Amino acid sequence: MNVVDCSGLTKTFGRATAVNNLSFTLAPNKITGLIGRNGAGKTTLLKIIAGYLLPNAGSIQVFSENPVNNIKVSANMIFVDENMVLPASMNLGEILESSGRFYAHWDHQLAVGLFTYFNLHPGQYHSKLSKGMRSAFNAILGLAARCPLTIFDEPTTGMDAAVRKDFYRALLKDFMLRPRTVILSSHLLNEINDILDDLLLIKDGEKRLHVPINELKEYAVGLQGKEETITEMAGKAEVLHRKRLGKDSVYLAVRNQFAEEELQKARLEGVAISPVVTDDLCMYLTARNKGGIDDVFDRN
Amino acid sequence: MLLDTDSLKPIYVQIAEWLEMEILNGNIASDEKMYSQYQLADMFNVNPATAAKGLNILADEKLLYKKRGLGMFVSSHARAAIRSKRIKRNLNQLVLELVAEAKRLDVGKDDLINMLIAAELQATEEGSQ
């Protein structure tokens, strides 16, 4: 049974379409990375899944039910983002204590352990925390709640590099202790790449790619060399990115449908073959033109 | 343990190769228990499904065998099999590239062979120190 099942999901705000005819399913106990550019519709999609927003069209099922005003979904889901609203009259210690009464699977030992590790103090107030510390506290709630559906919407905003790394490792470790369905949105794929099961890439509210993360590395390949050799080699393969280098040299990122022997042969002919790192690949897949920012300056 | 994220090789392939090295070096002997997918996930900081995929490469090549309820163990022929596979695949590959680079640089056959002999000597010396 799928945890999230949506089809034809569309959400518009006035004239802007935030989510456009999205269909996908999420199987239980996997970590899915939701990746997209600014304004791609990540947050809107997550809020629809959480039942905070109503779609204009299409259907959404979470734990096989409509998530809007649904007690089953609310009790089994936590939505972590930087705008989490927590009672202003309670200090952090009190919030942790009362969270235990709210979430059925709450792990208080984990919560306190992380709380101390990240140098938070029970007497502090949520509204007085720095941006990074607030994100860390929200992330602790998200982890310790151990909800069957855990949604992190850009959880690392404001965190420094060390805290981000610690958070992702904590997520992975606790996920192994208690598997659950996690959706993690970010625009930095690179950082979360290794801990993901699946990747859902969206562009302009539409699904661009939904694949197991292990297939991503072989999805595209970078070819660099003499223009005619490269163009011939690329043939009919889908070109994701093109960059001109020097006089007759060119770099292409193309869909990787080459056999190992073909790549081998090309290498011996002097073609430099390189991996397309996943961050670049996502950038190419969500770009509006093949040359990226260079096209803006290229007036010939 | 660090993975090379810039490599063309997927993470699970890198994990599989690292496991092969562990067997090749004798760190895990035959009939000894192999790391579990969760141990590997923790060591490499990767998703457990990715770690399992790495283990499965070795299992598919019969370098590991399963004991029900106990996990994966190293097959008796694993070390020899990995060695011959590496000679066939990696070493041949490296030699091909070596020869191609020598051609591009216009280095003759005798010079290349002399370089190989020198490199071999150096490696032996370093090994004996």
ipTM attached to this prediction: 0.79
Question: Taking CB atoms and an 8 Å limit, are B49 and A197 in contact across chains?
Answer: yes
Residue A275: per-residue pLDDT: 85
Choice among A90-94, A203-207, B4-8 with the minimum mean pLDDT: B4-8
Interface with B, mutate which of A260, A268, A269, A274 (most B CBs under 10 A): A268
Smallest CA–CA distance from B96 into chain A, residue: A268
Q: What percent of chain B has pLDDT over 70?
A: 94
Residue A274: per-residue pLDDT: 87
The pairing of strands B71-74 and B64-67 is antiparallel
| Average pLDDT of every residue of chain A | 91
Asked if the model's pLDDT at residue A33 lies above 90, the reply is: yes
* Interface contact A60, partner B, CB < 8 A: no
Residues 6+ apart with CB under 8 A from A211: A198, A199, A219
Position B6 confidence tier, pLDDT thresholds 50, 70, 90? low
Q: Where are the domains of chain B?
A: 11-76, 79-128
CATH class given for the domain over B11-76: mainly alpha
What's the rounded Cα separation, in Å, for the pair A142 and A139?
5
Residue B129: per-residue pLDDT: 62
What's the rounded Cα separation, in Å, for the pair A278 and A190?
6
Phi, psi (5° rounding) for residue A59?
Answer: -120, 150
Threshold 0.90, pTM exceeds: no
Cβ neighbours around A89 below 10 Å, total: 7
Position A205 confidence tier, pLDDT thresholds 50, 70, 90? very high
Residues of A130-156 as b/e, b for ≥16 C-beta within 10 angstroms?
Answer: eebbbbbbbbbbbbbbbbbbbbbbbbb
Can you list the domains of chain A with their CATH numbers?
4-215 (3.40.50.300), 220-297 (3.30.70)
* Interface contact A75, partner B, CB < 8 A: no
Q: Which of A172, A194, A268 shows the shortest C-beta gap to B100?
A: A268
Q: Which of B6, B8, B47 shows the shortest C-beta gap to A195?
A: B47
Asked if the model's pLDDT at residue A97 lies above 80, the reply is: yes
Q: Which of B6, B47, B96 shows the shortest C-beta gap to A277?
A: B6
Task: Indicate the helix (H) or strand (E) that contains B91.
Answer: none
Beta bridge partners of A244: A250
Question: Taking CB atoms and an 8 Å limit, are A213 and B47 in contact across chains?
Answer: yes
* Interface contact A58, partner B, CB < 8 A: no
Query: For B52-88, what is each residue's pLDDT tens digit?
Result: 999 999 999 999 999 988 899 999 999 999 999 989 8
What's the rounded Cα separation, in Å, for the pair A117 and A144?
14
A1 contacts A187 by C-beta, under 8 angstroms: no
Residues 6+ apart with CB under 8 A from A291: A241, A242, A243, A298
